[in-house]
A and B are shown apart, each in its own frame.
Chain A
Amino acid sequence: MIERTPILNIVTHVILIFGLILILVPIWLAFVGATLTLQEVNSAPIELWPGDQLFVNLREAWAISDFGQKFINTLIVATGVVLGKITLACITAFALVFFNFRGRMLIFWMIFITLMLPLEVRIVPTYAVAANALTPFQTIMDWTGISWLINAVSGVEVSLEWNLLNSYTGLILPLVATATGTFLYRQFFLTIPDELVEAARMDGAGPLRFLWDVLIPLSKTNIAALATIMFVYAWNQYLWPLLVVTDRANYGMVVVQLSDLVPDQLTTGGGTPTWHLAMAATLVVMLPPILIVILMQRWFVRGLINTDK
């Protein structure tokens, strides 16, 4: 279809460029802030063009925040969330789609409901569980009298404890405990033709072989899409790690570190606010997920549209 719309084309570019400026200006200003010296960044008419202190500031921000260990931690947590989520989503959806059993819809709905309440909404009780992940079982055993029974029979006092505070498990598990991805996989598995299942069974493949040799190779695009979304999601977690990790030196994540760099009375003690370092750290922290989104754009968009958060 060929249309000539020269005026509208110019208007289109003008609108888009205006939009881009609105989007880019804050980050540009943050970038400029990261390239200035302490005096420059606090002088009243702010610079709009970068100075030459970028690498000096990056190095100093890196050192005072001890980003080395924290990048490793964040990578471990993000990888853990990505792998955990993909594995769980895949096997759960597989069981729900390819097996016939009673209570299938019930289980489906039980998992589905978890999509409704994000972690932030139930943060206080989830934190209490993280302090001892076995509380649910302990309470149930106490209620049902099993603890009493065990105590009476063997003389052992039942007290289960598994503290997840300050651990990678504690950071990862609650982030994995939702249904994101399960539905992406379910939708995909529902499109697999019956003939494929029948052919696999006729060739003598059991369910696990079918999953491993047929479905997983077919779902590579799904995996890529889910991995991109989950990596960004895990990297950018803030509230949860802020609560679970008190031992920042060993288990801190990079994004949480930003809260220490907010230049207010607390951090500067009334001194000159160190905006140049705060901005340098901001750039460092946000770069990895941005790179992932830009490089994996196709998968990212597909994942975003299909996972429904």
Chain B
Amino acid sequence: MRRAYFKFSWIAAALLAPQLLIIFVFFYWPSAQALYWAFTLEQPWGGGNTWVGLDNFRKVLSDPYYWGSVRVSVIYALATTVLAMSMALTLAIFVDRQLAGYKAYRVAIIWPYAVAAPAVGLAFQFVFNPGAGIFSYINTISPGWWDLSKYPWQAVTAIVIAGAWKQVAYSFVFFLAALQSIPRSLTEAAAMDGARPLRRMIDLQLPLLTPTFFFLLVINITDSFTDSFGIVDTLTGGGPFRATDLMVYKIYADGFRGFDYSGAAAQSIILMLLVMALTFVQFRYVEKRVHYT
């Protein structure tokens, strides 16, 4: 810890105040508000909220639509994470060989990070469109076979592919940085022992990537829970038959279209707990256990 300090004074207080004020109003207060709503129910004719205990949660948890939403969220999270991370890892390992064109490859893989989620959703809706996009080829062969707005599995596949496409760049940046931080001496020692590049990838680089791998695993799953709204909204709108009604999307739909603040708040609390649990796993286990240095 630091030995040389300035003495605490009104300056330090003034420097801390803005941030504390802003997180109080826009973070702690809303989170507390969500808790309050989750345990109360607004009276239909005004007159404030009455305490209902766990009723809101009971209602949410006994709603088959909610479980449908949980199911598709988990599928989406796992599928996008696996797809995006395996692709990012493969690309990073080969880009790291630094052959000719290395920099061009790197830029070309990184830029999708900058594309807004709804833009990704809209572009993929065009690509997957049964009437206009590349998938219209399928329909010229067997008419009516491909239609996102009719078949749930096709809609889920579409948001998974769009979501994975968007996530690749993030994982790639981290994998590449981790690969480049592997000391040259290790690589050279392995080469002296006769390990060819492929052998080094499997026995040297991949094991050394384990911490990065687990970090990205948690981050990607968390992101797919929270960051999917834009893609779903422009690509499928939650349909068909609620097949792509991901958790964040359902909270939005119930809260702002259905005006069911209590139900939406209960769902928010569950999602908050989920995200916090994942973050906790991240800090408690992943960061501590898997380190080689």
Q: How far is the CA of A275 from the CA of B191 in the complex (A)?
A: 54
Q: Which of B15-23, B52-60, B68-76, B203-211 has 4 or more CB atoms under 8 Å from chain A? A: B15-23
Is residue A83 within 8 Å, beta carbon to beta carbon, of the partner chain? no
Interface string of A1-25 (1 = CB under 8 A from B): 1010100110011011001101111
Contact of B265 among A99, A125, A208, A290 (CB under 8 A): A125
Chain A residues with CB under 8 Å of B66's CB are none
Is residue B221 within 8 Å, beta carbon to beta carbon, of the partner chain? no
Q: Whose C-beta in chain B lies nearest to the C-beta of A89?
A: B19
Is residue A77 within 8 Å, beta carbon to beta carbon, of the partner chain? no
Chain B residues with CB under 8 Å of A22's CB are 87
Chain A residues with CB under 8 Å of B174's CB are 304-305
Is residue B33 within 8 Å, beta carbon to beta carbon, of the partner chain? yes
Max chain A C-beta neighbours (<10 A), residue from B16, B99, B136: B16
Q: Contact at B26–A238, with CB atoms within 8 Å?
A: no
Q: For the complex formed, measure the closest distance between the CB of A118 and the CB atoms of chain B, giving whole angstroms.
A: 5
Q: Contact at A122–B105, with CB atoms within 8 Å?
A: no
Q: How far is the CA of A101 from the CA of B131 in the complex (A)?
A: 65
Max chain A C-beta neighbours (<10 A), residue from B18, B27, B33, B133: B27
Find residues 205-241 in chain B having any chain A CB closer than 8 Å to their own CB.
Answer: 219, 225-227, 229-230, 233-234, 237
Is residue B244 within 8 Å, beta carbon to beta carbon, of the partner chain? no
Is residue B40 within 8 Å, beta carbon to beta carbon, of the partner chain? no
Q: How far is the CA of A259 from the CA of B252 in the complex (A)?
A: 15
Find residues 90-134 in chain B having any chain A CB closer than 8 Å to their own CB.
Answer: 90-91, 94-95, 97, 99, 101, 105-119, 122-127, 129, 131-134
Q: Contact at B99–A282, with CB atoms within 8 Å?
A: no
Interface string of A124-148 (1 = CB under 8 A from B): 1111110001011000000000000
Q: Contact at B7–A258, with CB atoms within 8 Å?
A: no
Is residue B251 within 8 Å, beta carbon to beta carbon, of the partner chain? yes
Contact of B126 among A88, A232, A278 (CB under 8 A): A278
Chain A residues with CB under 8 Å of B24's CB are 136
Q: Contact at B87–A19, with CB atoms within 8 Å?
A: yes
Q: How far is the CA of A133 from the CA of B106 in the complex (A)?
A: 44
Interface class of chain B by DSSP: helix
Chain B residues with CB under 8 Å of A123's CB are 248, 251-252, 255, 268
Is residue A67 within 8 Å, beta carbon to beta carbon, of the partner chain? no
Q: Contact at A120–B229, with CB atoms within 8 Å?
A: yes
Q: Contact at A239–B261, with CB atoms within 8 Å?
A: no
Q: How far is the CA of A100 from the CA of B2 in the complex (A)?
A: 9
Q: Contact at A122–B127, with CB atoms within 8 Å?
A: no
Q: Contact at B6–A98, with CB atoms within 8 Å?
A: yes
Q: For the complex formed, measure the closest distance between the CB of B94 and the CB atoms of chain A, giving whole angstroms.
A: 5
Assess A293 versus B111: contact at CB under 8 Å? Given A26-B165, A120-B227: yes
Q: Contact at B272–A258, with CB atoms within 8 Å?
A: no
Chain B residues with CB under 8 Å of A110's CB are 20, 23
Q: Contact at A122–B110, with CB atoms within 8 Å?
A: no
Is residue A198 within 8 Å, beta carbon to beta carbon, of the partner chain? yes
Q: Whose C-beta in chain B lies nearest to the C-beta of A235?
A: B116
Q: Contact at A292–B114, with CB atoms within 8 Å?
A: yes
Find residues 107-127 in chain A having any chain B CB closer than 8 Å to their own CB.
Answer: 107, 110-111, 114-118, 120-127
Is residue B11 within 8 Å, beta carbon to beta carbon, of the partner chain? yes
Find residues 252-279 in chain B having any chain A CB closer than 8 Å to their own CB.
Answer: 252, 255-256, 261, 264-265, 268, 271-272, 275-276, 279
Q: Contact at A278–B256, with CB atoms within 8 Å?
A: no
Chain A residues with CB under 8 Å of B11's CB are 206-208
Chain B residues with CB under 8 Å of A236's CB are 114-117, 230
Q: How far is the CA of A114 from the CA of B20 in the complex (A)?
A: 11
Q: For the complex formed, measure the closest distance between the CB of A3 and the CB atoms of chain B, giving whole angstroms.
A: 7
Q: Contact at A273–B27, with CB atoms within 8 Å?
A: no
Is residue B31 within 8 Å, beta carbon to beta carbon, of the partner chain? yes
Is residue A177 within 8 Å, beta carbon to beta carbon, of the partner chain? yes
Find residues 124-174 in chain B having any chain A CB closer than 8 Å to their own CB.
Answer: 124-127, 129, 131-134, 136-137, 139-140, 165, 168, 170, 173-174
Q: Whose C-beta in chain B lies nearest to the C-beta of A92?
A: B19
Chain A residues with CB under 8 Å of B4's CB are 194-195, 197-198, 201
Is residue A58 within 8 Å, beta carbon to beta carbon, of the partner chain? no
Contact of B272 among A25, A117, A198, A290 (CB under 8 A): A117
Contact of A101 among B8, B123, B198 (CB under 8 A): B8
Assess A182 versus B99: contact at CB under 8 Å? Given A114-B27, A118-B226, A133-B25: no
Contact of A107 among B20, B30, B105, B279 (CB under 8 A): B20
Is residue B196 within 8 Å, beta carbon to beta carbon, of the partner chain? yes
Q: Contact at A42–B132, with CB atoms within 8 Å?
A: yes
Interface string of A239-278 (1 = CB under 8 A from B): 1000100000000000110110110100000000101001
A-B contact pairs, 16 of them (CB 8 A): A95-B12, A95-B16, A101-B12, A114-B23, A114-B27, A118-B275, A126-B26, A129-B33, A178-B27, A259-B118, A262-B122, A278-B126, A279-B122, A282-B123, A289-B115, A309-B219
Residues of B whose CB lies within 8 Å of any CB of A are 2-9, 11-12, 15-16, 18-20, 22-27, 29-31, 33-34, 37, 87, 90-91, 94-95, 97, 99, 101, 105-119, 122-127, 129, 131-134, 136-137, 139-140, 165, 168, 170, 173-174, 177, 184, 187-188, 191, 196-198, 219, 225-227, 229-230, 233-234, 237, 248, 251-252, 255-256, 261, 264-265, 268, 271-272, 275-276, 279
8 further contact pairs, Cβ within 8 A, besides A5-B196, A16-B91, A114-B27? A41-B132, A94-B15, A96-B16, A124-B255, A127-B256, A256-B118, A301-B177, A304-B174
Per CB-CB distance, the 7 closest pairs between chain A and chain B, nearest first, are A125-B30, A236-B116, A177-B26, A101-B8, A125-B33, A289-B114, A197-B4
